[in-house]
Amino acid sequence: MSGNLKKSFVTGVFVIVPLVVSVSLLLWFFEKADNLFSPVIGGIVRAIVPGTSHIPGTGILSGIIIILVVGIFARNVAGRQILDALDRLIHRIPLFRTVYSTIKHLTNAFSPESTRSFKEVLLVEYPREGSYALGFRTMTVEEGERRLVVVYVPTNNLYLGEVLFIPEEKAVRLEMTVEQAVRLLVSGGTAASRELRRVSPPGA
């Protein structure tokens, strides 16, 4: 009886803690965004309409608009070049570049741009015979009469890894979405399902 209660308590902790942490981070972000942008927006509003009091939420709205503008800017060629130049400049600053690189790598792991080129999830024999790793098919190439699969195998979370060229028949296709595979890798394997299912061959 006590064992079941202990397991239930531990399970409850692992369910509640991520939820509480996520909500706390969101509240912290909204509060900081509001404190940062509200005075600016409030000053502009009071200059246009004297006597206007503080409007709650204007800072958050401004933060969202700025994020959208930066996102649109970063997706065009000119914007990407400017941001790349800024990125190179930041990487020349001691200490700050370490913090910046770490945070950028973590956010890039969850970026849609990082996973858009991943076609499907594969299981490949790596780094030695009898040992298997999770990988992502990025493309297929021809080598003479052989058809090779280009597989990206993450070795450090998602942003560092190895690129393998393996015969297509040796790549095991899994019934797993790219998002599920990313979640599995970022969680260190704790989000893995109890069974890895292969994709059934056509006509099977």
What is the number of other CB atoms lying within 10 angstroms of the CB of residue 66? Answer: 12
What confidence score (pLDDT) does residue 21 get? 75
Q: What is the pLDDT of residues 16-41, one digit of tens each?
A: 776 787 778 777 877 787 777 777 77
Model confidence at 202: pLDDT above 70: no
Span 64-122, pLDDT tens digits: 787 788 888 877 878 778 888 888 888 788 877 777 776 676 566 556 655 566 789 99
Tell me which residue of 69, 105, 72 sits closest to 87, measured CA to CA. 105
CATH T-level assignment (fold) for domain 115-186: SH3 type barrels. (2.30.30)
Q: Across the chain, what does the average pLDDT equal?
A: 78
Q: What pLDDT, on the 0 to 100 scale, is given for residue 105?
A: 62
| Percent of the chain topping pLDDT 70 | 79
CATH 2.30.30 in the chain is located at 115-186
Q: Which of 155, 188, 193 is nearest to 174 (CA)?
A: 193
Judge whether residue 123 has pLDDT over 90.
Answer: yes
DSSP-derived secondary structure for 147-200: EEEEEEEEEETTTEEEEEEEEGGG-EEBS--HHHHHHHHHTTTTT--S-PPBPP
Determine the length of the chain. 204
pLDDT of residue 114: 56
The pTM assigned to this predicted structure is: 0.47
pLDDT tier, 193 (very low <50, low <70, confident <90, very high otherwise): confident
